[in-house]
Amino acid sequence: MTSNTITKFSVTTPIYYVNAKPHIGHAYTTIIADAVCRWHRLLGEEVHFLTGTDEHGLKIQQAAEAQGVSPQQFVDSIAPLFEHAWDRLNIKYDDFIRTTEPRHAVGVRKLLQACYDAGDIELDVYRGQYCVACEAYFVDDELVDGKCPIHNTPTTYVEEENYFFRLSRFEDRLLKWYADHPNCLTPGNRLNEVIGFIKSGLNDFSVSRKTLTWGIPLPWDASHVAYVWFDALANYITAIGYGTDDAAFSANWPVDYHFIGKEIIRFHCVYWPAMLMSAGIEPPKGWAVGGWLIISGEKISKTTGNVVDPLDLIDEFGVDGIRYYVLAEFAYGSDGNFTYEGLVSRYNSDLANNLGNLAARIATVVEKKCGGLGTAPAADSVLASAAATAVAETSQGWANVQPSRALEATWSLIKAANSYLEQNEPWKMESGDAVDRVMGDALEALRIVAILANPALPTTTQEIWERIGLTGNISDSRINIDTVWGQYPAGRLVAKGKPLYPRKTV
């Protein structure tokens, strides 16, 4: 029996708090998720990419109060800034969920009710510390010098009647699930952290707040609103139909990866699967856990006050310049030191000098020596094997959610093509077969590079595509078909154009 089933691939980003406009840290996770999705589209998979905004909770209520507007007015003014930033950064999401949307409230209430009916939510009294910036409760020994371990800011003592999710009942089930799914976390070393946390003993967590009004009322007790994390985590299922479209939900759950930052691993890898298990829903297939972008040793965050607006960098480096820097510079999973000098140096070396130079050289020589028309590659070119290796290793890098490795592999082909030109010096040759052959090989390498680099550089690879005379949308290419050596067609007009990546000085 043959099967025509198209592989599905779905990912989510965290939904970002709308207490302020997006910064480069938010953009980092979103760009990674976008590039991974673009790669999977090039594989011909049916991709679903969900992002959105987290709009309830005390932090938002306080931010609105500080501006003297209602929480709804406040979130309505900030959420579009995220949509705008993602559009400017060329983020191709399929759905953007705001937790103030009716579809979300319906699903959150259904999930709460399911856990309540399963007997896993009960009334109790909470006494302890709360960090508003994290929207998280801490036990005393988690505090560092009496302060929040993430934000290094004072916590608030809270004592109130809350509904609790009986997380403590899920230790064995969670450990069994992780034992059965040993590859669910990437990078893999995060698994030990999660298992260690579960084994250290799980405390029940509060799922409601009585003193807060800005949230979704519990279906069985409207004097409480849902705790913002319970509300927020549910976005991953409410967006795809949980509570509103059961067929769509079952067709699209579980997702392949939740992309998250390392500070929210406990919510995502312990609370969330337990909540789902309680409601009779399968946990997600996996999580891709990123490190932080840091500046001078501190996490970039609103609380620290060291934010960089990604949009401020676009005028100088182009959208693709920013995307490329964060994708290529930092190994996904580890912290990365974000510096202006690092951005300039990465841009100059990889984009201006390597890729930009290759494209410019090719166009110049084709114009001077080949009458401006591209020539055909040779089947036995030395670049053919460099291309095959680059395709295989780039594929591996994206499959492992290691964009920096994938791009390094793609850049190996750029370097091979530049060396090939330097060795053959077609600019010194007379027009004729020899130069045509060298340029055909170089054009073919550039065509393959453009496809492989497309997830990172969607705008400039389209530009390269057109400059070498190819038509249509480069992102409609398919890796397994279109990266096979030997397909660049002779006779296409090759245009030089302005430098793709003008060099920068610090």
Q: In the complex, what is the shortest distance from the CB of residue 52 to ligand MSP, in angstroms, rounded to a whole number?
A: 9
Distances (CA, A) of 468 to 444, 461, 488: 10, 11, 9
Burial class (CB in 10 A: 0-12, 13-18, 19+), 160: middle
The site for ligand MSP, by CB under 6 A, has a size of: 22
Instruction: Figure out which of the listed residues 116, 214, 292, 325 binds ligand MSP, where binding follows CB under 6 A.
Output: 292
Instruction: Figure out which of the listed residues 10, 11, 15, 351 binds ligand MSP, where binding follows CB under 6 A.
Output: 15
Burial class (CB in 10 A: 0-12, 13-18, 19+), 217: middle
Site string for ligand MSP, 17-36 (x = CB under 6 A): x-------xx-xx-------
Applying CB under 6 A, the span of 142-150, 259-267, 320-328, 445-453 interacting with ligand MSP comes to 259-267
- Kindly state the tokens that stand for 83: 């949509």
Q: In the complex, what is the shortest distance from the CB of residue 134 to ligand MSP, in angstroms, rounded to a whole number?
A: 8
**23 catalytically annotated:** yes
48, 95 contact by CB (below 8 A):
yes
Q: How is 26-78 classified by DSSP, letter by letter?
A: HHHHHHHHHHHHHHHHHTT-EEEEEEEEE--SHHHHHHHHHHTS-HHHHHHHH
Burial class (CB in 10 A: 0-12, 13-18, 19+), 394: buried
Report which of 144, 167, 165 is spatially closest to residue 154, judged by C-alpha positions. Answer: 144
CA 386 to chain CA mean position, Å: 29
Give the separation between CA 244 and CA 89, rounded to whole angstroms.
31
CA 43 to chain CA mean position, Å: 18
Catalytic residue among 40, 48, 151, 268: 151
Q: In the complex, what is the shortest distance from the CB of residue 326 to ligand MSP, in angstroms, rounded to a whole number?
A: 9
Q: Kindly state whether residue 16 participates in binding ligand MSP, applying the rule CB under 6 A.
A: yes
Instruction: Figure out which of the listed residues 301, 404, 410, 483 binds ligand MSP, where binding follows CB under 6 A.
Output: 301
Catalytic residue among 56, 104, 302, 369: 302
Among residues 39 and 332, whose Cβ is nearest to ligand MSP?
A: 332
Among residues 295 and 376, whose Cβ is nearest to ligand MSP?
A: 295
Instruction: Figure out which of the listed residues 63, 293, 421, 449 binds ligand MSP, where binding follows CB under 6 A.
Output: 293
Query: Which residues, numbered 47-76, are part of the site for ligand MSP (CB under 6 A)?
Result: 54
**104 catalytically annotated:** no
Dihedral sign computed on CA atoms, order 228, 229, 232, 238: negative
Among residues 300 and 451, whose Cβ is nearest to ligand MSP?
A: 300
Contacting positions for ligand MSP (CB under 6 A): 14-17, 25-26, 28-29, 54, 232-233, 235, 260-261, 263-264, 290, 292-293, 299-301
Which residues are marked as active site? 23, 26, 131, 134, 148, 151, 299, 302
